[in-house]
Structure formats: C-alpha cells, structure tokens
Structure 1
Amino acid sequence: MNWILLLIAGLFEIGWVYALKQSDNFANLKFAFLAVLLLAISMACLSLSLRTIPVGTAYAIWTGIGAVGAATLGIMAFGDPATALRLVCIALIVIGVVGLKLASA
C-alpha cells in the first residue's frame, strides 16, 4: 500500500507542476490554489508512504516521478523540445527510479 501511496504522490507532483504553469506566476488564482492543493496532497501521500519505505528511496522515487512527468508534460503540452539528449536523460531517470524500487524490494 505504501508503494501505491508513493506512486499517487508522484502523480500529484506532476499535477501541481501543471497547475503552477497554468497559474501564470500566481496571476490565475484558480490554478494557483489548485497547485497548492495538489502539492499538499502530494506531500501528504509521500509522508504516509514513509511508514515503511526508507526516506532516501521514497524521496528519490517521488522526485523522479515528478521530474519525468514534468519533462514529459513539457514536451507534450507546452512544446518543450524533445531532443535526443533530453529523452536519454529522461530514460536515465526512469532507470534510476526502477533501480531504487528493485533495491528496496
């Protein structure tokens, strides 16, 4: 269950980054509030996952999910360049996250 909470925390991490981008530097209060709410949910789920997952592993996986998700979101939704180097770096983060999960099993 704690691994599922960590995955949910990572997904909410991606959500708050999207809302933050849409908030236009907090000028759009609807998205600004949404960003803060999603961040709070993300951190709450991360906190709950720490009951059994080592903090270093959980934090690295949480930020990895967020980093990969935000980079992918940037490419798909905001027109960020999808260069070969960027895609290789995203793949390296995914490999690291999977490795941490396997090392914690």
Structure 2
Amino acid sequence: MKPDWLIVRGSALKEREQVTQLLSDLNLHTVCQEAACPNMVECFGRKTATFMIMGAQCTRSCTFCNVTEGIPSALNTQEPNAVAQAVLKLGLLHVVITSVTRDDLDGGGAQHFA
C-alpha cells in the first residue's frame, strides 16, 4: 500500500490535462514539462505553474538539466500576453516566470521580461 503522499488524486490528473491543453493552445512552456519534473501533477493540481519564457531551447548544455539544448527560435512577441491569459484562465494562485538561457540575445533576452 502506498503512503497518502504518493497517491495521485484523479482530479489532479484532470487538472494537469486542462493545464497542459491550455499551454499547448497558447504555445507556452513550463519548466515542469520541459525539465520533466516529477511533481508536475501536484503543482498543476494546486494551480501553480512555473512558466519558461523565450522558447523551449536553451543555448547551453548543462549536464544537470533536462531542458533541450539547441538553436532557439525567434522570440514570440505575444508570449507575455499569452502567459497573462493562461494565468487568468487557469485561476493560478502562484506563478513563477523563468526562462531558458538565451546567449544568442543581447542582454540574454532581459528586454523580453520587461
């Protein structure tokens, strides 16, 4: 028998599906998905998300990280609006915004955060 903290509620799985679908519809990425986080169901179920902006391709290849390394695509200028839209639609209570490393951009893409 599994301890309670290891059991995934069916409702959490449903919430994860809803979050995953909306992120796909809005062309958004989360650290949870890209880094294959084992806690994704729990976080999405608690209406928490860590958005990863500036694409899903990192310009570095850190051995400790599961985020894909490669040549990143151009920045999506609508991404900040899409993040705001996702936060509102999902009724998220806690949001973290981080990014892949973009050594190809001036200032590492800091302007995209602004």
> Same fold by TM (over 0.5)?
no
TM-score for both structures, normalised by structure 2: 0.28
User: Which structure would you say has the larger Rg?
Assistant: 2
Q: Higher helix share goes to which structure?
A: 1
Q: Which has the higher contact order (CA 8 A, sep 6+)?
A: 1
